[in-house]
Structure 1
Amino acid sequence: MKKNSAHLQLTTGQRRIELARPWALAALYTASALAGWWWLAVPVAVAVCLAAFVQMHDAMHNALGLSKPTNERILTLSGLLILKSGHALQVTHLRHHGRCLTDDDPEGAPATWSFSRVLWQGPWHILMLRRESLRIAPHTRRIQLLETALTAVLLAVFVCVYFLTGSVVGLVYWGVAFFMSATMPIWASYIPHRMASRHPAARTAAALAQIWTPVVSSFAFHHVHHHYPRVPTALLYRAAAELPPPPEHNHHH
């Protein structure tokens, strides 16, 4: 962490909220789906995936103020919520920070594509990242493959529950998670790197981010995150207000 961002750390109360959010939303999804309230359950499933993404991302950067073993577990568990290997995504994400938008930045590649290419190639991009993470960090192969196996077990459970009980609760969640993965190159790569912080949409998001919305913060202050990666997503709005502004050209296509 840059030394002038060291004070931007979560309080105990804030940390509890950050850790609980995706799991509370997952419980809400399960309850509303079991009740048959799909009008509520499907949007909540989207919120679960976004909240899990933010938690996983903060764990990737050790930004939650947790011990190393606890942080590693959170990285695994939050990744599983979006049916991914957290450690695999961490490999390509840290490479993205180190070699942003270069030829050796597989995660950032969609930011350099045309939008039409992002649409048709995006769904395959996440599979390519899995291959790249094994190539870049073969020493983490064991945990990557373990998390991949756990994801397969989860999917098998969803299918078994459907055949045994007729419940589609797990399958619908799988569908939503797949959709979020397929569109991840758009909302997690293309838009943040193509949109300058001066853009009206980014300015609007920056204003909204002050009411404790980490997903919005990750969009509004992407350039700040690249410069101060150890600041938790939920506190990026404070980092933007209190720390020296970073140069935007370093990570915009």
Structure 2
Amino acid sequence: MLRPNAAAAHLRLSPTQQWLELMRPWVLLAGYVTTASLGWWWVAVPLAVAVCLSGFVQTHDAMHQALGLSKQQNDRLLTLSGLLLLKSGHGLQVTHLRHHAHCLRADDPEGAPATWAFWRVVWQGPYHILMLRRESLRMAPHTRSIQLVETALTLLLLGVFVGLYYWWGSPVGLVYWGVAFVMSATLPIWAAYLPHQLAERNPAVRAAAATALFWTPVLSSFAFHHLHHHYPRVPTALLPRAAAELPPPPSHHH
């Protein structure tokens, strides 16, 4: 019997799909900057949310080296896409790979919110995100340098955002910061609690699976979360195809 990653080895992005997955968040970011600069906030704010969601998907695929890039290219992309979320991409990778290896166990800090009561996920979410950065430094001292560099770059970006407002009166950076903060503070809800609490037969999950092709990366990361845990090297965009072509994971698999 083939190991999961070997069974899914044929599911790789085509050159066109790879280009789309690599460019999506950056095209959306350009759209945000343009519309925000024009003061079209009713368009800009939803675009900022879309940037964060697509940046999350790209960072996630880079964590698993699922985008068909060389290791060096993947590491660079992990840094850049993490900055879209105002986070350390390599720090996120440390806790996420631990989550896959020790899913929902006591030593899985990323997955901890999935075991909490919902009210606790809501009020403790922002603190939990900061705690994960501390945990990533503790768990992977060999990547501490790049994590600290990425943290410094995040602080530099925040300084630029403040500078844009202070010297030029432009709130473009601060609004994006606010959106990214809200997305980050609620990430334990939509990226940990709900995917692990809702069974694959749940109507919401089934509806997301049925409509995943409308914006595959966002919906697929929710609808096929259980499948991703079993076939982690399959790009998020190809999870609907994986669901149709690959043996289903065990029912207890997260």
2:133 counterpart SS class: helix
Structure 1 vs Structure 2 CA RMSD? 0.8
- 1:141 aligned residue: 144
Is 1:127 the counterpart of 2:127? The answer is no
- 1:213 aligned residue: 216
Deviation at 1:211, TM superposition (A): 3.4
**Whole-angstrom CA distance in 2 between matches of 1:190 and 1:147:** 27
- 2:246 aligned residue: 243
Pairs within 5 Å for 1:78-227: 78-227=81-230
- 2:63 aligned residue: 60
Deviation at 1:184, TM superposition (A): 0.3
Conserved? CA contact 1:96–1:106, under 8 Å = yes
Conserved? CA contact 1:196–1:248, under 8 Å = no
Amino acid at match of 1:17: L
- 1:11 aligned residue: 14
**Whole-angstrom CA distance in 2 between matches of 1:213 and 1:250:** 22
How many aligned positions are there? 251
**Whole-angstrom CA distance in 1 between matches of 2:139 and 2:54:** 27
TM-score by length of 2: 0.98
Deviation at 1:250, TM superposition (A): 2.9
TM-score by length of 1: 0.98
Amino acid at match of 2:150: E
Amino acid at match of 2:52: C
**Whole-angstrom CA distance in 1 between matches of 2:86 and 2:213:** 30
Unaligned ranges ≥5, structure 2: none
**Whole-angstrom CA distance in 2 between matches of 1:183 and 1:87:** 20
- 1:29 aligned residue: 32
- 2:46 aligned residue: 43
Deviation at 1:212, TM superposition (A): 4.4
